[in-house]
Structure formats: structure tokens, C-alpha cells
Structure 1
Amino acid sequence: MTQNWDDLRVFLAVARAESLSRAGQELRMDPATVGRRIARLESSLGAILFAKSPQGYALTEAGERMLEPLEAAEAALNAGQGAVTGTDEGLSGTIRIGAPDGSANFLLPQVCAQIREQNPDLELQILALPRVVNLSKREADMAITVSPPQTGRLTVQKVADYHLHLAAPREIAGEIRNLSDIRDRPVIGYIQDMIFDQELDYLSAIGAKRVDLASNSFSVQLMLMRTRRGIGIAHDFAMPFAPELRLVLRDHVSLTRTFYLVRHASDRGSERLNRFAQALVTGMRAEIARLEDLARQDA
């Protein structure tokens, strides 16, 4: 049965927003109308497209199967309109990116703000979590990780390497000439039993046996360092945001890690998400390079 494109457009909005109210805002409809349109579409198809819960609307398996071809059709329609009008349709709708708090706090705000400036109809959401984002449950449209996932129907793209070094308050940085000079100083780091990825376990790199001041959030760790409470491992790209600190022992302690962009395999055919992913990767690479260069200049 041929479906009304307006109803399919409502389906896409709800799939992206995972909420009748947020989809209604995008479509300029009240939530009740959006709900009726979804119910009508499900009735005509004879399939349940969304699982409703207090957390919102999540795609069912049937909804997942509809999403990819509909997004491809939407992209084709936008491209056709652009060819006729001579305009390049910008990105629109809602896209949510999940990320560990280091990248969520110090990289994504600048990158996402720039992408949003170029696409004023786009709503971007940054989900900062001290754990791996569950894409299968549609917690986000895509995620930044520090390890490539080993299971699940996911696609993985390397974003960029980034670097980490030991950081200390400026007033004591000159006193730290080798690793033995840090033994009597408080060590700041992750709560050991809450490290969700082994790539974040830095203790062995500095020869420390324990963490004296700990948090599951790197941003909190950086604040502890900034308040002169101790020393710890910091991302080079975060250092321009912490003028109270300096990188120390760069020749003794130097770590390299990698960011990956992870997406659900069913989204591979989405021109919209593909375009955004490319802009995100390009922006993150440039921002990491810019901030790390600033950190090297201050070292």
C-alpha cells in the first residue's frame, strides 16, 4: 500500500527525536496530532513501529527496517529539490552524539557549534556519559569511543589519535624533574572500579599504586588539578582550558589514544547522518590538532 509522505515524514521526525513533543516542535504540530499520525501509519502498515515507554519512543525492529530506506528517500527528495532550485539543502532535524566526558566537554562544543552555524535547522545534542553509549537502544545516533566495539551491528570509523601527558600546577611544575618527584604528591585519576574502558587506566604509566583523589569524570579530575590538589594525566587538548596547569615529564610519560566514531549499521544508508558524520570527523580532527598545538606552545 502506498503511504502518505506526510505520515512518513512524521515517522522520521519521531524516530530522530524519540519523543512526540520534540518531533512536534520540529514539525510545528501538537504532540497529540503527531501521535495520531503515527497510529494511523502503524494501522495502515499492520505493524508496530515504536515501543512507547516513559523514556520516549524507541524504534521496534519493524521501525528499524523502515528507517534506512525512508532516510534515503528523504535525501533523494532534498537533492532533487536542490537541483531544481539551485540550492544545497542543509542538515536539519535532531542528531544526538554520545561521548565520554573528555571529548564531550573539550572538543564537541566547539565542533558542534560550528556545524550548527552552517546548518541553522539542525538541533545537536551532546550526551556526556562516563560509560559506553548504548547505540542498540538508540541512546544516541552515533557515539565517540576510545576503543572500537567488538560486538553489535555497528560501523566504526577512526577519528584521530590524541595525546595525554602528566599535568601539574604551575607553581610546582618546575620541581618535577623525574617520576620520583611525584611520589609524595597526591595523585588524581579515575575511580579504579568504575573505569569503563581499559584505555582510560593510566596508573601504570606513572608508576602510581593508588589514586588519592578520584572521579569517574575527567572534567572533575581536571578541576581537582586546577585547584592545586595534585597531579594527574590530562588530555593535551584540554590544557588550553586549564591555564593553572602545565604539562610535565613529557619525555617520561607520553600516552597516545584514539577516538572512534561508532554508528548503528542500519544507518549506513542515511545520507543525512553520513553528511553529519563526515562534518563531525573533519571538525574533531581539526580541533584536536588546534588545541594540542596550543598545549605544545605552552609546555
Structure 2
Amino acid sequence: MDWDKLRIFHAVADAGSLTHAGDKLNLSQSAVSRQIRALEESLDSTLFHRHARGLILTEQGELLFDATSAMSKRLDAAAARIRDSEEEVFGVLRVTTTFGFGTLWLAPRLPKLYEQYPDLNIDLMLEERVLDLPMREADVAIRMKEPSQADLVRKRLMTVQMQLYATPEYLEERGSPESPEDISKHRLICQTPSAPQVGASAMMVRHLMTYNPTSLLTVNNYFGVLQGVLHNLGIGVLPDYVTHDFPHLQSILSDIETADVPVYLAYPEELRHSKRVAAFRDFVQDEIIAQRKQLKQMGKL
């Protein structure tokens, strides 16, 4: 099968238009059209439905596009490995993690990484959905459970717990709960039950709901939960990593907490020797170690 025709087919399928694909490939529309017709003739199949609004893949076209997409991602991975310098850290590193961890723990620490590696560009993808690392949807993932995908290098970074927190101002006004039953006198702030989240958090919220809180504020990520707590709206269910950078928050009913939730860093086996990945991995580990030392000094460990 002609690789050049496959490249042109992939561009057309991705753009949904002969004209847009031609612009991207620096080819005329007629040249792109000829290549697509030749490919269809060689496969004896129609790859596109043509209509006034553009092109839509046929069932056969979808099968071929899946194959060319996988090829493209593999080629990107190979190119990334080739570009990796033996001595320098540069280029784009695509990092995926949850919205809460990315906004509240990782992003505030990235200036230190950029200071150390000014030629490194981080593409931070905050998704609750687990991206496919072997298929190169991302280079590195930080997740609240061990990744199950094959061909990954895994590193356990730390553990977190879900706990209850409130501001001193809120507790002064509404009183501090002395027992779980006192939750009935307060507003509970937590993740939306239907939102993707670690099982430990969902179990904790279900348990707290049995005490009939006065009212409820649900948010689909921990950043929103934290904002509710910081603005004195109630008592929030938060992972303890969130509150390390907000030491004024007070832990409530510390006996009510979840089991340890492991946090893993993972990346494809083929990036094992990537300097960019190694720099990011070491940076995250160093930040966790520094945080532990700080918490010990504060008597919180």
C-alpha cells in the first residue's frame, strides 16, 4: 500500500475536506482528489461519502483511519525518541492528570521546572478520563490509581487521603463539629456523585450523607470544592494534597478519613530513556520529598 497515499488520506479524513487537507499538505485540491481516487481504486472500496458540507468516512474509511491514526501516533513517538538529546532537555512533554491534582498541586509548582529547563514545553491535559499512553495520547500520566495499561513504566509517588476541612472563619461562625452526627448542622461540599472520582471519595460522601447535612453543594472537581470551602460555604471533602498549600484550613473530625489512595506516575516503555520524561519524573519526586520535609517540620506528619 502506498505510504504517500495513506498520508494524504489521513489528512483528508482528519480535516473532512479536500481543500483543507490540500492547504495542510501544500497540494492542490485536484492533486489530493486524484490520490484519494487512486487509493480507493487500489482497495476497491469507497472511503468517503461526498456531500455539500464536506466528506464523511464510510465504514471502510473508518477502519483505514483507525489504522493510519495508530501509525501516526507511533511515528510521533519514534520522532520524539529520536529528537531527545542525550544531554539537553527540550521540546514538548504532554502530561495528563486529574483536574484537581493538576490545578492545585502540579501547576503551582511548574515555575521551578521551567527555571531548571527553560527549553521544555509542558502541554498539561487535565482530564478525569484515563488517556491511552501506549497510543501516545499523552507522554506522562499522574493518576490516583495504578494504571492497568500494558507496556508502561510505573512509579508510585505518594498516597493521599480524603478528609473534611473548613476555614477558621466558618467554624467560628457555625461551630466545629464534635461528632459525625453534628454534620447535620452544616453544609457539606463535595464532588458530584456522578463525577469520575476515586472510590474512596465516593464511599466517604455516601457515609457522610447518612448524617443528613443541612444542605449540599456538589461540584464536578476538587478545585470547585476547595473554592467553596475557602469562601466559607461549608465543610468540604478534599484530598489532603490540596490543603498542603492552604495551611490555614482546619481538619474536621479527623477520625473520618479514607484509606490511603495511591498516586502513580506512568509513561510508555518506549519513553524510558527520554530526557524530558526523566526530568519531569525527577522534578515531581523532588517536590514530593520537599513537601514531606515541610510537613514534618510543621508537625503534620
| TM-score tier after normalising by the smaller chain length | 0.5 to 0.7
Go from structure 1 to structure 2 and tell me whether the alpha carbon gap of 1:223 and 1:71 turns closer, same or farther (over 3 Å shift): closer
Q: Structure 2: state its 5+ residue gaps.
A: 1-21, 27-66
Task: Letter of the 2:289 partner, please give it.
Answer: A
Q: Does residue 278 in structure 1 map to residue 285 in structure 2? A: no
Deviation at 1:219? 0.5
- CA distance in 1 between counterparts of 2:104 and 2:295 reads 12
Per-residue CA distance 1:218-256 (angstroms, 9 max, x = gap): 010111112222112223232254466311222343542
- CA distance in 2 between counterparts of 1:292 and 1:102 reads 20
Per-residue CA distance 1:17-60 (angstroms, 9 max, x = gap): xxxxxxxxxxxxxxx99967xxxxxxxxxxxxxxxxxxxxx984
Match in the other structure for 1:164? 162
Alignment of 1:90-239 (within 5 A): 90-136=88-134, 138-171=136-169, 172=171, 175-203=176-204, 206-209=207-210, 212-239=216-243
Instruction: Report the aligned-residue RMSD.
Output: 3.7
Mean Cα deviation higher: 206-215 or 183-192: 206-215
Go from structure 1 to structure 2 and tell me whether the alpha carbon gap of 1:194 and 1:180 turns closer, same or farther (over 3 Å shift): same
- CA distance in 2 between counterparts of 1:288 and 1:271 reads 26
Match in the other structure for 1:248? 252
Q: Structure 1: state its 5+ residue gaps.
A: 1-31, 37-57, 80-88
Task: Letter of the 2:257 partner, please give it.
Answer: V
% identical equivalent positions: 19
8 Å Cα contact 2:183-2:208 kept in structure 1: no
8 Å Cα contact 1:169-1:225 kept in structure 2: yes
Deviation at 1:93? 0.6
Go from structure 1 to structure 2 and tell me whether the alpha carbon gap of 1:134 and 1:196 turns closer, same or farther (over 3 Å shift): farther
Deviation at 1:203? 2.7
- CA distance in 1 between counterparts of 2:100 and 2:289 reads 16
- CA distance in 2 between counterparts of 1:151 and 1:135 reads 8
Match in the other structure for 1:257? 261
Corresponding pairs, count: 238
- CA distance in 2 between counterparts of 1:71 and 1:243 reads 40
TM-score, normalising length from structure 2?
Answer: 0.64
Deviation at 1:293? 5.0
8 Å Cα contact 1:162-1:288 kept in structure 2: no
Counterpart secondary structure, 2:96: strand
Deviation at 1:163? 3.2
Go from structure 1 to structure 2 and tell me whether the alpha carbon gap of 1:71 and 1:177 turns closer, same or farther (over 3 Å shift): same
Task: Letter of the 1:194 partner, please give it.
Answer: A
Match in the other structure for 1:18? none
Structure number with greater Rg is 2
Counterpart secondary structure, 2:131: coil
8 Å Cα contact 2:161-2:257 kept in structure 1: no
Deviation at 1:139? 3.5
Mean Cα deviation higher: 58-67 or 97-106: 58-67
Per-residue CA distance 1:241-278 (angstroms, 9 max, x = gap): 4466311222343542221112234323x422442343
8 Å Cα contact 2:74-2:136 kept in structure 1: no
Go from structure 1 to structure 2 and tell me whether the alpha carbon gap of 1:203 and 1:72 turns closer, same or farther (over 3 Å shift): closer
Deviation at 1:186? 1.5
8 Å Cα contact 1:97-1:142 kept in structure 2: yes
Go from structure 1 to structure 2 and tell me whether the alpha carbon gap of 1:205 and 1:289 turns closer, same or farther (over 3 Å shift): farther
